Copies of this chain bind each other. A is one copy, B any other.
């Protein structure tokens, strides 16, 4: 029960998450070209090296791949992307459930709350 303040998550991890979301959401589409390191770094106003680190990590995860002088591409392996989606959605849901339970809500109450605020 601590006071863990302010998401001090390293920037490059936040970058990874944001780019992951964009890939999952189809902002960067499967098989298509990504913006260059420098463009992304500029847009996020971080140092190109930091963005590079994030992208390398994403490459390690198999979500993107790079062609030496041509740029970076989103993987054409749709399953890989689907996997990332399941992973992220689980993470968001777990965090959400944790916060709601801290409010003293039962899982039934939580579901009813989601139903209440959903769109139709």
Interface residues of A (CB under 8 A from B): 1, 3, 5-9, 11, 14-15, 18, 21, 24-27, 43-46, 85, 88-90, 92-97, 99-100, 102-105, 107, 110-111, 113-120
* B120 engages A107 (CB within 8 Å): yes
* A3 engages B88 (CB within 8 Å): no
A89 partner residues in chain B, CB cutoff 8 A: 100, 103, 105, 113
* A5 engages B14 (CB within 8 Å): yes
List 21 interface pairs A-B (beta carbons < 8 Å), by A numbering: A1-B27, A5-B11, A5-B14, A6-B6, A6-B7, A6-B8, A6-B11, A21-B103, A24-B104, A25-B104, A26-B104, A90-B113, A90-B117, A92-B99, A92-B100, A95-B96, A97-B114, A107-B119, A107-B120, A110-B114, A114-B114
